[in-house]
């Protein structure tokens, strides 16, 4: 895959040139320290998208919480000041004196070398391709992922700036037309046909839309149901799915659309802990990508369903309600502690509590038990018209 230019490059110096200089400076400083017999110290900022607050009270100080709270004064600063501000919440110190750090640094340098080549040759690669360059050294994909995150933090850039891109998992349909480089995505000409979400989001331009809102659905099966029902003929909207946990292109593209088109965005997920976690990933970002959350989150996104209370409102029969497993309960309990819920969407948190109280979950498809097209003909339009969203 190759990309030629980016819209957001600064006029004077392209991002790739700046990054290549930074990589050269970093390795040169490392070499200088080593040749002078010093053990180099590498400081990596730490980021988080939320902290956990066992007492639901973020002014309480709890000595057992993450060590980064040591950096916060207890008197007049909320412990959430980092989560709420996109600032780093501390630093990690890498030193060659520790074996695990030395390996991490060795991996980082190898990945940096690959990134340097990608930038010099103006080529793109996936995280998976990078892993397969030296599988015997990297041993595991997660090691490569961490190195890429470390490099982004050190170089203060986003992953796509390194020319490292995802294969692209997302799908889109509806009342929109845009281009990605030379490629035209003309969804309007057949609004119920799925198109892949563009991978090079920075090259997307000429966005034209006749939509009134954006609907994000968790699952491909629901997306296909809506496509089969010709949902976009009756509803002037754009439908996107990340097919489970959304990847970076899907989240960046959704954000680009919300910013450019100023349309409301609604999210439809299963009424279970995973659905709720996916909803929060769209709105608040993930912990893994916390360093880049400011470019990935979509704070405007609203929760359309399925709420725990929807099972009664829409008469979902008991046999479609599944009991929460022990793991589900643990996941919900852990999510209830996330500071942003209480701070920004307290009503979401109440619904999450309700899942736990009722001890049951259900899939979006369970709403269609009475009629196959229930989602497209009744549920979604009635939720939007009746403002039954949160
Ligand atoms: Zn917090």
How does DSSP assign 307-359, residue by residue? -TTHHHHTT--GGG-EEPPHHHHHHHHHHHTBHHHHHH-HHHHHHHHHHHHHT
Same domain, 249 and 113: no
Question: Would you report the helix, strand and coil content of the chain in percent, each value rounded to 5?
Answer: 45, 15, 35
Query: Ligand 1 centroid to 338 CA: how many Å?
Result: 7
Same domain, 274 and 149: no
- Count CA atoms within 13 Å of residue 363 on its CB side: 12
Assign residue 37 a region: left if phi > 0, alpha if psi is -120 to 50, beta otherwise?
A: left
CA 199, CA 164: separation in Å to the nearest integer? 10
State which of 99, 128, 162 marks the end of a domain.
Answer: 162
CA 243, CA 324: separation in Å to the nearest integer? 22
Q: Is residue 76 part of a domain?
A: no
Question: Which of the residues 50, 131, 132, 134 is marked catalytic?
Answer: 132
Active site residue 132: yes
CATH number at residue 28: 1.10.10.10
Cα 291 from chain centroid (whole Å): 11
Per the structure, how many domains does the chain have?
Answer: 2
Look up residue 83 and give its two tokens. Answer: 């989560």
Whether 118 and 162 have beta carbons less than 8 Å apart is answered as: yes
For 337, list phi and psi in degrees, rounded to 5.
-85, -10
Same domain, 124 and 194: no
Q: What percent of the chain has pLDDT over 70?
A: 90
CATH number at residue 179: 3.40.1360.10
Task: Provide the whole-model pTM.
Answer: 0.87
Q: Is residue 390 part of a domain?
A: no
DSSP summary character for residue 77: S
Same domain, 243 and 154: no
CA 33, CA 40: separation in Å to the nearest integer? 6
Whether 127 and 166 have beta carbons less than 8 Å apart is answered as: yes
Whether 304 and 47 have beta carbons less than 8 Å apart is answered as: no
Same domain, 265 and 353: yes
Query: Ligand 1 centroid to 341 CA: how many Å?
Result: 10
Same domain, 273 and 323: yes
Q: Is residue 67 part of a domain?
A: no
Same domain, 321 and 358: yes
Alpha helices in the chain (DSSP H): 15-35, 99-121, 127-131, 135-138, 141-155, 220-228, 231-234, 248-261, 273-284, 293-296, 310-313, 326-336, 339-344, 346-358, 374, 380-385
State which of 137, 162, 187 marks the end of a domain.
Answer: 162
Same domain, 153 and 262: no
Q: Is residue 53 part of a domain?
A: no
Query: Ligand 1 centroid to 386 CA: how many Å?
Result: 33
Same domain, 175 and 148: no
Same domain, 140 and 34: yes
Per-residue pLDDT of the chain (390 residues; tens, 9 = 90+): 333 444 444 456 889 999 999 999 999 999 999 999 998 999 999 999 999 865 544 433 343 443 333 333 333 345 678 888 889 989 999 999 999 999 999 999 999 999 999 999 999 999 999 999 999 989 999 999 999 999 999 999 999 999 999 878 999 999 999 999 999 999 999 999 999 999 999 999 999 999 999 999 999 999 999 999 999 999 999 999 999 999 999 999 999 999 999 999 999 999 999 999 999 999 999 999 999 999 999 999 999 999 999 999 999 999 999 999 999 999 999 999 999 999 999 999 999 999 999 999 999 999 998 899 999 999 999 999 999 999
Q: Is residue 10 part of a domain?
A: no
Closest-CA residue to 330 (of 355, 312, 351): 355
Residues 6+ apart with CB under 8 A from 240: 170, 171, 172, 197, 214, 215, 216, 217, 250, 253, 254
Same domain, 230 and 151: no
Whether 263 and 211 have beta carbons less than 8 Å apart is answered as: yes
- Count CA atoms within 13 Å of residue 109 on its CB side: 15
Strand partners, 107: none
Query: Ligand 1 centroid to 150 CA: how many Å?
Result: 22
Query: Ligand 1 centroid to 347 CA: how many Å?
Result: 18
Query: Ligand 1 centroid to 273 CA: how many Å?
Result: 20
Q: Is residue 147 part of a domain?
A: yes
CA 191, CA 235: separation in Å to the nearest integer? 10
DSSP summary character for residue 203: G
Residue-number span of the structural domain to which 147 is assigned: 15-46+90-162
Identify the pLDDT of residue 83: 84
Identify the pLDDT of residue 77: 42
For 25, list phi and psi in degrees, rounded to 5.
-65, -40
Q: Is residue 337 part of a domain?
A: yes
State which of 162, 188, 208 marks the end of a domain.
Answer: 162
Same domain, 121 and 250: no
Q: Is residue 78 part of a domain?
A: no
């Amino acid at each position: 895959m190759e990309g030629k230019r980016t819209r957001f490059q600064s006029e004077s110096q392209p991002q790739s040139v700046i990054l290549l200089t930074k990589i050269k400076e970093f390795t040169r400083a490392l070499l200088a320290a080593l040749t002078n017999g010093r053990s180099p110290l590498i400081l990596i900022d730490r980021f988080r998208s939320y902290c956990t607050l066992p007492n639901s009270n973020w002014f309480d100080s709890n000595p057992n919480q993450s060590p980064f709270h040591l950096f916060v004064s207890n008197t007049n600063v909320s412990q959430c000041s980092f989560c709420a501000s996109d600032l780093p919440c501390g630093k990690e110190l890498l030193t060659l004196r520790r074996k695990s750090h030395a390996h991490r640094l060795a991996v980082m340098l190898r990945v940096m070398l690959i990134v340097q080549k990608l930038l010099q040759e103006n080529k793109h690669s996936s995280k998976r391709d990078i892993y397969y360059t030296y599988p015997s050294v990297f041993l595991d994909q997660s090691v490569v992922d961490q190195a890429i995150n470390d490099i982004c933090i050190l170089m203060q850039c986003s992953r796509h700036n390194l020319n490292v891109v995802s294969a692209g998992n997302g799908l889109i349909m509806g009342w929109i037309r845009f281009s990605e480089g030379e490629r035209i995505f003309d969804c309007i000409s057949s609004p119920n046909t799925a198109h892949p979400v563009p991978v090079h989001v920075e090259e997307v331009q000429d966005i034209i839309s006749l939509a009134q809102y954006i609907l994000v659905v968790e699952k491909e099966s629901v997306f296909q149901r809506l496509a089969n029902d010709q949902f976009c003929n009756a509803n002037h909207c754009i439908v996107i799915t990340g097919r489970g946990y959304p990847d970076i292109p899907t989240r960046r593209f959704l954000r680009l659309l919300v910013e450019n088109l100023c349309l409301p965005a609604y999210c439809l997920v299963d009424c279970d802990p995973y659905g709720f976690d996916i909803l929060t990933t769209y709105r608040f970002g993930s912990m893994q990508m916390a360093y880049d959350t400011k470019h990935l989150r979509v704070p405007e996104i609203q929760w359309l369903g399925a709420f725990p209370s929807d099972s009664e409102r829409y008469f979902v029969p008991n046999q479609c309600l599944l009991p929460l497993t022990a793991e589900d309960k643990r996941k919900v309990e852990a999510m209830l502690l996330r500071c942003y819920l209480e701070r920004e969407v307290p009503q979401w948190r109440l619904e999450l509590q309700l899942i736990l109280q009722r001890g049951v979950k259900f899939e979006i498809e369970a709403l269609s038990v009475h009629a196959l097209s229930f989602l497209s003909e009744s549920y979604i339009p009635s939720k939007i018209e009746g403002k039954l969203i949160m």
